[in-house]
A and B are shown apart, each in its own frame.
Chain A
Amino acid sequence: MSATPVLALHWSDWLNLFAHYLALSFLSVGGAITTLPEMHRYLVDQQHWLNDAQFNASIAIAQASPGPNILFVALMGWNIGINAGGLPSALLGVLLTMTGILLPSTTLTYLSARWGYRNRNLRSVRAFKQGMSPIVIALLIATGWILASAHKDPAQDWPLWLLTAATALMIGSSRIHLLWLLATGALLGWFGLV
Chain B
Amino acid sequence: MQPIPGPCRQRSKVKYGFSPLRQNPLETNNHLQPQSLTDLFTSFTLLALQGFGGVLAVVQLELVGKKRWMTKEEFVEEWAVAQIMPGPNVINLSLMIGARHFGLPGALAAMAGLLAIPLLLVLLLALAYAHYGSHPNVIGALRGMGAVAAGLIIATGLKLSTALKSSPLGIPVCIALGSVCFIGIALLRWPLAYALIGLGTTGCLLAYRKLEP
Residues of A within 8 A of B (CB): 25-32, 34, 57-58, 60-71, 74-75, 78-79, 94, 98, 101-102, 104-106, 108-110, 112-114, 116-117, 123-124, 126-151, 160-161, 163-169, 171-172, 178-179, 181-182, 184-192, 194
Measured between beta carbons, the chain B residues less than 8 angstroms from A172 are 155, 158-159
A66 in contact with B85 given A132-B204, A140-B153, A189-B145 (CB within 8 Å): no
Measured between beta carbons, the chain B residues less than 8 angstroms from A79 are 126
Q: Which parts of B176-213 form the interface with A (CB within 8 Å)? A: 177-179, 181-182, 185-186, 192-193, 195-196, 199-200, 202-208, 211-213
Q: Are B118 and A29 in contact (CB under 8 A)?
A: no
Q: Which A residue sits closest to B208, measured CB to CB?
A: A127
A134 in contact with B174 given A66-B52, A68-B90 (CB within 8 Å): yes
CB B162 to nearest CB in A, in angstroms, measures: 10
Counting CB contacts under 8 A, is B87 at the interface?
Answer: yes
Q: Which A residue sits closest to B121, measured CB to CB?
A: A65
Q: Are A187 and B141 in contact (CB under 8 A)?
A: yes
Measured between beta carbons, the chain A residues less than 8 angstroms from B207 are 126-128, 130-131
Docked Cα-Cα span, A127 to B77, in Å, equals 10
Closest A-B pairs by Cβ, 7 of them: A67-B118, A105-B87, A189-B144, A167-B151, A131-B203, A131-B204, A144-B153
Partner of A106 from the list B61, B95, B153 (CB cut-off 8 Å) is B95
Q: Which B residue sits closest to A30, measured CB to CB?
A: B192
Docked Cα-Cα span, A127 to B142, in Å, equals 41
Q: Are B151 and A68 in contact (CB under 8 A)?
A: no
Counting CB contacts under 8 A, is B14 at the interface?
Answer: no
Docked Cα-Cα span, A104 to B149, in Å, equals 29
Counting CB contacts under 8 A, is B91 at the interface?
Answer: yes
Counting CB contacts under 8 A, is B4 at the interface?
Answer: no
Docked Cα-Cα span, A15 to B96, in Å, equals 30
Q: Are A133 and B140 in contact (CB under 8 A)?
A: no
20 more CB-based (< 8 A) A-B contacts, given A68-B48, A70-B91, A144-B150: A28-B86, A61-B122, A61-B129, A68-B55, A69-B54, A75-B122, A105-B92, A110-B107, A113-B81, A127-B208, A133-B80, A134-B175, A137-B160, A140-B153, A141-B154, A146-B186, A163-B144, A171-B151, A189-B142, A190-B144
Measured between beta carbons, the chain A residues less than 8 angstroms from B118 are 65-68, 71
Docked Cα-Cα span, A40 to B115, in Å, equals 23
The contact size tier of chain B is 35 or more
Measured between beta carbons, the chain A residues less than 8 angstroms from B211 are 123, 126-127, 130
Residues of B within 8 A of A (CB): 17-19, 48-58, 61, 76-92, 95-96, 99-100, 104, 107, 111, 114-115, 117-119, 121-123, 125-126, 129, 133, 136-161, 163-164, 167-169, 173-175, 177-179, 181-182, 185-186, 192-193, 195-196, 199-200, 202-208, 211-213
Q: Are B204 and A66 in contact (CB under 8 A)?
A: no
Q: Are B208 and A167 in contact (CB under 8 A)?
A: no
- Pick 28 A–B contacts, CB within 8 A, sort by A: A28-B88, A58-B126, A61-B122, A61-B126, A68-B114, A75-B126, A94-B119, A102-B88, A104-B86, A104-B87, A105-B86, A105-B87, A114-B99, A123-B208, A134-B167, A134-B181, A136-B76, A137-B178, A142-B185, A144-B153, A147-B149, A163-B144, A166-B151, A171-B152, A178-B58, A178-B152, A194-B140, A194-B144
Measured between beta carbons, the chain A residues less than 8 angstroms from B149 are 147, 182, 185
Q: Are B204 and A69 in contact (CB under 8 A)?
A: no
CB A93 to nearest CB in B, in angstroms, measures: 11
